[in-house]
Structure 1
Amino acid sequence: MEAPVNTPKKKRFHLNRSQSEAVQAYAFLLPAAIIVLVFFVAAIVFALYMSFNKVNMYSETYEFRGLQNYTNIFSDGIALTALKNTALFSLVVVPTQTFFALLIAYALSNKNIRFKKMFRLIYFLPTLTSSAALTLIFMFIFNINGPINGFFTGIGLYKDPINFLQEPQYALKVIMVMNIWSTVPNFMTVYLASLVDLPDSLYEAAEMDGASSWQKLVHITVPYLRPITTYVLLMGIIGTFQMFDQAYIFSNGSGGPDNSTLTVALMVYQYAFGQMNTMGYACALAIFLAVVIYIVSRLAEKLNGGNGLKDM
């Protein structure tokens, strides 16, 4: 009788609890990581590559040009106009929307105000409206035959109606007003959420010292909300420097009248998808805009008491 042959048993690979949880976590993160790598990281790297080339999208050819696309930005009068419009837009809109958002949030956080929930709802309604719809509404309001001209001519402020939409000195200002009106409610909500955690004892101590409402706002509320203000400033700078849809709808994609509503983001669109077939130059403009946004954001953070450019 033959002796039974002992076959070695296969070792099974077992994961402990922490390793099993780590595998599950990475499995859940994998779809998002793939999307980020393909549509963000790979897209940025490819745009950076195209910015150093003269790209012909019709023949799919690439001709290396080095830094020529970037140097052309500073000699391109239209690009400098777009950059000036974008900087002016951000310089006016960001501080204004931050100031009014903080002021309204401070007023609505007061316990003595009645119907606070109703006011919060009314103020928040513009945020729920799409940017395209808001642009069309404001184009109607500021039309030469619109309510604004009708009101001011009716009270005798001026005799002839002003063509706000076609006059270069007014067109960008109309978009500024619209942007401020539509973004203040969003940042007001951010401030309100932060004011909930502000201790009432600080206000009570200030009242005992005879501080007015304005003094409490300046010396208690504003310093307490400094980190939130930094966030609001950064989001405002990024949003205003990337402003595209409002200028596109307002000018029908032309940046007019007389390039007064032309922004860098709109110009990138024109060069990338227009008739000029200059995708490489458009990518250079986009990279340049990203660098400008980063520098301006860090400067704003520094001015508000953050680290600013130290971590660059």
Structure 2
Amino acid sequence: MRNASVARSRLQPRWTGWLFISIAVLLICAFYFYPMIQALLLSFKTGTGAQIHYTGFDNYERLFSDKVFKTALKNTFLFLIIQVPVMIVLALFISVLLNDSKLKFKGFFRTAIFLPCVTSLVAYSVVFKYLFGNDGLINKLFLNLHLIHDPIQWITDPFWAKITIIIAITWRWTGYNMIFYLSALQNIDNSIYEAARIDGASPIRQFFKITVPLLKPIILFTSITSTIGTLQLFDEVVNITKGGPGNATMSISQYIYNLSFKYTPDFGYAATVSYSIVVLIILLSFIQFKAAGDSK
């Protein structure tokens, strides 16, 4: 009898723990995994309304010959390979500066740089649209400083439209990554830097030989999250350039939206394009893990 009561007392904490997380697990399954499975099944269908039916891999075959999808994919990758490295390096540089114990008003600077992250995506996108308009503040400033002779077509020129999107994303998300680096820097023992200074290491050498290696896990984390965010880019493109001019800035997420709600609704093919983002995220995350030398 005593052994049975001991066994029950040992099992009780386990069941209590499962009871606490059961509601969260059910909600995650209902609102995350179930829609994901349904979207995967939907990607094998075509048609509208009650006329939807299975077509096998037709949607996936269409994907490889879709010129609009290829354009959206190229644009998204262009944003990715330019904006993510710039943002990561900038966030790392700013975090090192703001971690200096001799710097005054650190709280103000940290808040100011992080503040764009909590602004509304739509609101800040609209502000950027007007700032970079033909008669916007940026063009007026450059004209007054005599840096340009004619207004730059930030929104209507394919090249400058891409630059505008990259600037907007970098402005909003640099502070987000900066917070992670600041948290990690404050956990590095100052005695490591003191020993390096005694050995004659310059600040630049300390940065590359101490700071960067110790921040490697955080750099990997922010690189992956930034990659995922850029592959899902939507609000900035829709509100600043509307994907134009001529699909020059259309992202994959905007193309999914157009397939679902703007063009003739084709939810099956939209689900197929959605799963292309899933595949890209998995592949790029795997590559980043390998490039960082993480074998786990």
- TM-score, length-normalised on structure 2? 0.93
Q: Deviations over 1:151-200 (max 9, x none)?
A: 11112222121221121111121111011111111111100001111111
Q: Which residue of 2 aligns with 1:108?
A: 98
Query: Structure 1 residue 21 and structure 2 residue 13: aligned?
Result: yes
Give the residue type in structure 2 aligned to 1:25: G
Q: Which residue of 1 aligns with 2:31?
A: 39
Describe the SS at the equivalent of 2:47. Answer: strand
Give the residue type in structure 2 aligned to 1:264: I
Instruction: Report % sequence identity.
Output: 32
Q: Tell me, in whole angstroms, the C-alpha distance in 2 between the residues paired with 1:15 and 1:23.
A: 13
Q: Which residue of 2 aligns with 1:287?
A: 275
Q: Which residue of 1 aligns with 2:171?
A: 181
Query: Structure 1 residue 52 and structure 2 residue 40: aligned?
Result: no
Query: Structure 1 residue 265 and structure 2 residue 265: aligned?
Result: no
Choose 106-115 or 187-196, whichever is displaced more. Answer: 106-115
Instruction: Within 5 Å, give how 1:156-235 maps onto structure 2.
Output: 156-235=146-225
Describe the SS at the equivalent of 1:72. Answer: helix
Q: Deviations over 1:222-272 (max 9, x none)?
A: 0000001000100000000001111121234xx211101210111111112
Contact 2:128–2:240, Cα closer than 8 Å, also in 1: no
Describe the SS at the equivalent of 1:190. Answer: helix
Q: Deviations over 1:78-106 (max 9, x none)?
A: 00000000001111111111101111111
Greater C-alpha Rg: 1
Q: Tell me, in whole angstroms, the C-alpha distance in 1 between the residues paired with 2:262 and 2:23.
A: 34
Query: Structure 1 residue 251 and structure 2 residue 241: aligned?
Result: yes
Q: Which residue of 2 aligns with 1:136?
A: 126
Q: Tell me, in whole angstroms, the C-alpha distance in 2 between the residues paired with 1:15 and 1:256.
A: 67
Give the residue type in structure 2 aligned to 1:304: A
Give the residue type in structure 1 aligned to 2:162: L
Q: Tell me, in whole angstroms, the C-alpha distance in 2 between the residues paired with 1:275 and 1:161.
A: 34
Give the residue type in structure 2 aligned to 1:173: I
Contact 2:98–2:106, Cα closer than 8 Å, also in 1: yes
Contact 2:117–2:173, Cα closer than 8 Å, also in 1: yes
Choose 111-120 or 237-246, whichever is displaced more. Answer: 111-120
Q: Tell me, in whole angstroms, the C-alpha distance in 2 between the residues paired with 1:23 and 1:305.
A: 39
- TM-score, length-normalised on structure 1? 0.89
Give the residue type in structure 2 aligned to 1:30: S
Q: Which residue of 1 aligns with 2:293?
A: 305
Q: Tell me, in whole angstroms, the C-alpha distance in 2 between the residues paired with 1:62 and 1:124.
A: 46
**Runs of 4+ that moved beyond 6 A:** none
Number of corresponding residues: 292
- The Cα shift of 1:215 comes to 1.0
Q: Tell me, in whole angstroms, the C-alpha distance in 2 between the residues paired with 1:128 and 1:45.
A: 32
Q: 1:62 aligns with which of 28, 40, 52?
A: 52
Q: Tell me, in whole angstroms, the C-alpha distance in 2 between the residues paired with 1:68 and 1:27.
A: 44
Q: Tell me, in whole angstroms, the C-alpha distance in 2 between the residues paired with 1:287 and 1:151.
A: 43
Q: Which residue of 2 aligns with 1:10?
A: none
Q: Tell me, in whole angstroms, the C-alpha distance in 1 between the residues paired with 2:217 and 2:113.
A: 23
Q: Tell me, in whole angstroms, the C-alpha distance in 2 between the residues paired with 1:180 and 1:301.
A: 23
Query: Structure 1 residue 123 and structure 2 residue 118: aligned?
Result: no
Query: Structure 1 residue 275 and structure 2 residue 267: aligned?
Result: no
Describe the SS at the equivalent of 2:133. Answer: coil
Q: Tell me, in whole angstroms, the C-alpha distance in 2 between the residues paired with 1:68 and 1:86.
A: 24
- The Cα shift of 1:15 comes to 8.8
Q: Give structure 1 stretches of 5+ with no counterpart.
A: 1-12
- Higher-helix-fraction structure: 2
- The Cα shift of 1:25 comes to 2.5
Give the residue type in structure 2 aligned to 1:260: A
Q: Which residue of 1 aligns with 2:87?
A: 97
Q: Tell me, in whole angstroms, the C-alpha distance in 2 between the residues paired with 1:62 and 1:55.
A: 4
